[in-house]
Amino acid sequence: MAESAMNHEEKLDKLAEVAVRVGLGLAHGQQLVMTAPLEAVPLVRRITEHAYKAGASLVTTIFGDEQSTLMRFQHGADDSFDTASKWLYDGMAEAFRGGAARLAIAGEDPNLLAGQDPARVARANRARSQAYLPALELISGFDINWTICSFASSAWARAVFPNVSEEQAVAKLWDAIFAASRVDRPDPVAAWGEHNAELRARYSMLNAKQYSALHFRGPGTDLKVGLADDHEWAGGATKAKNGVVCNPNIPSEEVFTTPHRARVEGTVTSTKPLSYQGTLIQDIAVRFEGGQIAEARARTGQDVLQKVLETDEGARRLGEVALVPHSSPISASGLLFYNTLFDENASHHIALGQAYAKCVRGGLSMTEAELEQKGANRSLIHIDWMIGSDKVDVDGVNADGSAEPLMRGGEWVTKAA
Amino acid sequence: MAESAMNHEEKLDKLAEVAVRVGLGLAHGQQLVMTAPLEAVPLVRRITEHAYKAGASLVTTIFGDEQSTLMRFQHGADDSFDTASKWLYDGMAEAFRGGAARLAIAGEDPNLLAGQDPARVARANRARSQAYLPALELISGFDINWTICSFASSAWARAVFPNVSEEQAVAKLWDAIFAASRVDRPDPVAAWGEHNAELRARYSMLNAKQYSALHFRGPGTDLKVGLADDHEWAGGATKAKNGVVCNPNIPSEEVFTTPHRARVEGTVTSTKPLSYQGTLIQDIAVRFEGGQIAEARARTGQDVLQKVLETDEGARRLGEVALVPHSSPISASGLLFYNTLFDENASHHIALGQAYAKCVRGGLSMTEAELEQKGANRSLIHIDWMIGSDKVDVDGVNADGSAEPLMRGGEWVTKAA
């Protein structure tokens, strides 16, 4: 089918096919546990159809309703905000232990909770994070194949395109999602195959180098991010412990690894706003000492940022560092998506909180204590924020302290092999 | 507010208020687990609001999508139909053990699975019933407060009113739901208080009588339903084990008790069609011997009926017998709702399968073995079907074999005290 011949419904169907075949790599007989905003029903149904065609034994979708979430903040008793649906998350963890795959459709209103009491928002998030942890560990530990893809909800579209009609905004956001997810290509599944091969060449080079640190320099940034011992770079396709190859993020442009929790030094300034649970945190400026945030400021959302940093001890340390060329398709769109899945793929980024065990060699079979010994951080949170631009340079620092240029002006110095 | 002044939105809000205050009697600090069809979002949101106002600590809604259900039958592999989302039902059971209340919104398309392979439908239902059993036992055992109310979905409305436009059908079905649920009254909560008092007077009289059997006589029916030892009649409001008074069905017109699993004799003919999981089972004619169905026929849906009876040993025995005057509001509407919640409240009915422990004196604290000794039946299913009309008479049979007239021409012989 020629690109121009595809209408919206066909592209939506291609996105569903990419989510099931590339994102999940769903195996015959697997259950699928899907989470989605209510508005995403048309995509949910297409994914459900592709999942059954791929041999799913059962597809169960847990829909979220943002209006109902908001009602809690409007009408709920103050003593209610430390409660989470632990029974549901424990059920999901049980599904994963039983072999179910996991698909999340993102499309949240980035401003949903903007007007609500930050203390209540933080309490609700903390309760939710604690309740979700057992399920999240099975996901981030790749016990199962999983993926996240996106739906252009109207509230999200209005935030990204505030100056056009809602209908136009939704159409524009869909164009951006389809392009970034490579479903506007004649053969999206093949396009993902090529893309995965490029990412593989890049992270293989970095794994061969085994730098002891990355050095970021740019406006307001002079940051040395020590890497975990035996760190492993990853990107694109991942083989889960159940043997299934999945692409956990649709889209994905990054290669990423695990920093050393105690070896981050210097200052760093965010280059894009962070949309966190309905609050926009802009112009974050942070100073690290011994791996820990010693000072943190933000032009907007500072109170929310402070609450985040108080979540637990690991919330002040890094769990991920990722490199993304400035010329990547999402960056080239020039858009700010107010959604981590997209914005992190337009820019280098670091994440506060939980590290990925798979980014330590042999990490998926290690205990928490063993991972910590390698330098991997542990926390209830994992929050990515963007620190790259065409003005940020990156050096790879060797164990002997010598540095070599890795990225200049936002681009790789060497071509992928 | 005068009745005529209430518009649709106001009535929907009253229905939500009745569901939370009368149906659930929701207590401050309780979680609420709601299940609902996707189309019921407007009612879900109003119930969510009333629940938070009543002090709910968290409202979690599990939405069901009939289109997704159908896709499984259209595209799923044959080996998939014995799978159920046990992880989700176990999670719900865990929520109930933790004190959560339960609300179900009914509104299914009665014909959804009509065109599908009955063997696959039966396999999927059986798997679901088995997975749901631990949660269902906590509900039917009244460990928690729970209720079912209704939403006028378009597919359901088309089935009830096939000869008008969909818009008219939905409006008519809403009128019927609002009337039956008493939310068209000036003070619906007070109206439920009066109704509950009447039902209480009726079941108190029957409890004082302690009949050994009920004798139903009418066209195609001559059936003696022995009652369980120490059976207890119930109806309307119920005090759950957690101390909360709830109305498990909105609407509800019945008084009901537990038959003796081994003491049902004779023949009975259904007086209304039974809509079971998308199939219409009409003109059921059954002969009981020693409490067990010895012969069963149906004019339509006989293959589905046979599959139901093969579910387990208890599926061929009775778990409930209920009396409903022919003049009750739902019967007076003259409508066939293709939905048990409504149709059972227009007519005497019996249920195949699981008995209610609360309908045996002290039953909620008894073991399964103790309940069985009293004559209470046990099964994966509980399926009500209608056996009453203005042509069916009912006698109460005393232990000495003497009979006294209880209902004639569909009405109680004596007034409620």
pLDDT in tens, A115-148: 899 899 989 999 999 999 999 989 988 999 999 9
CA count, 13 A, side-chain hemisphere, A149: 34
Chain A touched by B31 (CB under 8 Å): yes
Picking from A56, A87, A100, the nearest residue to B92 by CB comes out as: A87
The single-letter code of the amino acid at B1 is: M
Chain A environment of B62 (Cβ under 8 Å): 62
**Positions of chain A with pLDDT under 50:** 1-3
Q: Measured between CB atoms, does A55 come within 8 Å of chain B?
A: yes
Residue of chain B minimizing CA distance to A53? B75
Cα–Cα distance measured from residue A195 to residue A254, given in angstroms and rounded to the nearest whole number: 11
Distance CA B319, CA B314 (A): 9
pLDDT at A178: 96
Distance CA(B307)–CA(B303), nearest Å, equals 6
Contact between A85 and B57 using a beta-carbon 8 Å cutoff = no
Question: CA torsion, points A47, A49, A55, A58, in degrees to nearest 10?
Answer: 80
User: Do B188 and B367 contact (CB within 8 A), yes or no?
Assistant: no
Q: Give pLDDT tens digits for B273-289.
A: 888 877 889 999 999 99
Crossing angle (nearest 10°) for helices B118-140 and B302-309: 50
Q: Is the Cβ of B76 closer than 8 Å to some Cβ of chain A?
A: yes
**Which residues 201-220 of B have a C-beta within 8 angstroms of A?**
none
A62 touches chain B (CB under 8 A): yes
pLDDT tens digits along B258-269: 999 999 999 999
How far apart are alpha carbons A233 and A199 in whole angstroms?
10
Runs of H (alpha helix) within B224-374:
302-309, 329-333, 340-343, 368-374
The reported pLDDT for the residue numbered A4 is 53
In eight-state DSSP terms, residue A249 is: B
In DSSP notation, A362-409 reads TGGGS-HHHHHHHT----S-EEEEE---TT-EEEEE-TTS-EEEEEET
B62 touching A, CB under 8 A?
Answer: yes
Q: Which residues of B touch A28 (CB under 8 A)?
A: 77
Chain B residues with CB-CB distance to A80 below 8 A = 29, 52, 55-58
How big is chain B by its Cα radius of gyration, in Å?
A: 20
Would you state the pLDDT for residue A2? 45
pLDDT reported for residue B309: 95
What is the separation of C-alpha B332 from the centre of its chain, rounded to a whole number of angstroms? Answer: 19
Cβ neighbours of A27 in B, within 8 Å: none
CA dist., res. B236 & res. B161, Å (int)? 28
DSSP H/E element including B218: strand B213-218
A76 touches chain B (CB under 8 A): yes
d(CA B335, CA B345): 12
What chain B residue is nearest to A87 in terms of C-alpha separation?
B91
Q: How far is the CA of A393 from the CAs of A178, A201, A268, A389, A404, in angstroms?
A: 30, 21, 13, 9, 11
Residue of B nearest to A62 (CA): B62
Instruction: Give the tens place of pLDDT for each residue, B49-96.
Output: 999 999 999 999 999 999 999 999 999 999 999 999 999 999 999 999
Inter-chain touch A55–B68, beta carbons under 8 Å: no
pLDDT at position B343 is 87
Mean pLDDT by 10 residues, chain B (417 residues): 71 98 98 98 98 98 97 96 98 98 95 89 92 93 95 96 97 96 94 95 96 97 98 95 96 96 98 84 97 97 92 96 91 86 91 93 92 95 93 97 96 82
Q: To probe the interface with B, which of A46, A73, A75 has the most B CB atoms within 10 Å?
A: A75
Segment (H or E) for A90: helix A86-97
Residues whose CB is less than 8 angstroms from the CB of residue B49 and which lie 6 or more positions away in sequence, other chains included: A71, A74, A75, B16
Q: What is the reported pLDDT for B163?
A: 96
Quote the CA–CA distance of B43 and B59 in Å, as a whole number: 13
Within an 8 Å CB–CB cutoff, is residue B130 touching chain A?
no
Which one-letter DSSP state was computed for residue A228? Answer: P
A128 contacts in B (CB within 8 Å)? none
Question: Helices B86-97 & A86-97, crossing angle to 10 degrees?
Answer: 150
Q: Do B85 and A31 touch (CB under 8 A)?
A: yes
Alpha-carbon span A164 to A170, nearest angstrom = 10
Q: Which residues contact B164 (CB under 8 A, 6 or more apart)?
A: B172
Q: Which of A44, A45, A71 lies nearest to residue B52, judging by beta carbons?
A: A71
- CB-based contact A228:A374 (threshold 8 Å): yes
Chain A residue with minimal CA distance to B53? A75
Could you tell me which of A326, A318, A330 has the C-alpha nearest to residue A407?
Answer: A326
Task: Write out chain B residues lying below 8 Å of A123, CB-based.
Answer: none
Residue A22 and residue B295: Cα distance in Å, rounded?
54
Cβ distance of A71 and B79 shorter than 8 Å: no
Residue A69's closest chain B neighbor by CA? B59
| Contact call for A52 and B76, based on CB within 8 A | yes
Q: B127: nearest CA in chain A?
A: A58
d(C-alpha A285, C-alpha A294), whole Å? 11
DSSP, collapsed to helix, strand or coil, labels residue B108 as coil
Q: Do B90 and A92 touch (CB under 8 A)?
A: no
Which of A48, A59, A65, A87 is the best substitution to test chain B (most B C-beta atoms within 10 A)? A87
pLDDT value, residue A41: 98
CB pairs under 8 A between A and B: 134
Q: Which residues of B touch A98 (CB under 8 A)?
A: 87
CA distances from A209 to A231, A399, B159, B377, B405 (A): 11, 10, 68, 71, 93
How far away is chain A from the Cα of B82, in angstroms, using its nearest Cα? 8
Determine the distance in angstroms separating the CA of B276 from the nearest CA of chain A, rounded to an integer.
21
Beta strand B259-269 pairing with A221-227? unpaired
Within 8 A of B131 by CB-CB distance, chain A residues are none
Q: How far is residue B162's CA from residue B154's CA, in Å, rounded to a whole number?
A: 11
**What structural domains does chain B harbor?**
3-180 (3.40.1830.10), 210-234+253-411 (no CATH)
pLDDT at B1: 41
Interface of A with B in 351-380 (CB under 8 A): none
Taking the C-alpha atoms of residue A410 and residue A394, their distance in angstroms, rounded to an integer, is 8
> B residues 81-100 near A, CB within 8 Å?
83-85, 87-88, 90-92, 94-95, 98, 100
B71, B117 contact by CB (below 8 A): no
Q: What is the pTM of this model?
A: 0.88
What single-letter DSSP state applies at residue A328? S
Question: CB distance B87–A79 less than 8 Å?
Answer: no
pLDDT of residue A344: 85
**A53, A55, A58: residue with CB nearest B84:** A58
Q: What is the pLDDT of residue A383?
A: 93
**In a 10 Å sphere around its CB, with 0-12 CB exposed, 13-18 middle and 19+ buried, how is residue B289 labelled?**
exposed
CB nearest to B87's CB, from A44, A74, A98: A98
How near does any CA of chain B get to the CA of A397, in Å? 47
State how far the Cα of B417 lies from the Cα of A216, in Å rounded to an integer. 85
- B133 dihedral zone (left: phi>0; alpha: psi -120 to 50; beta): alpha
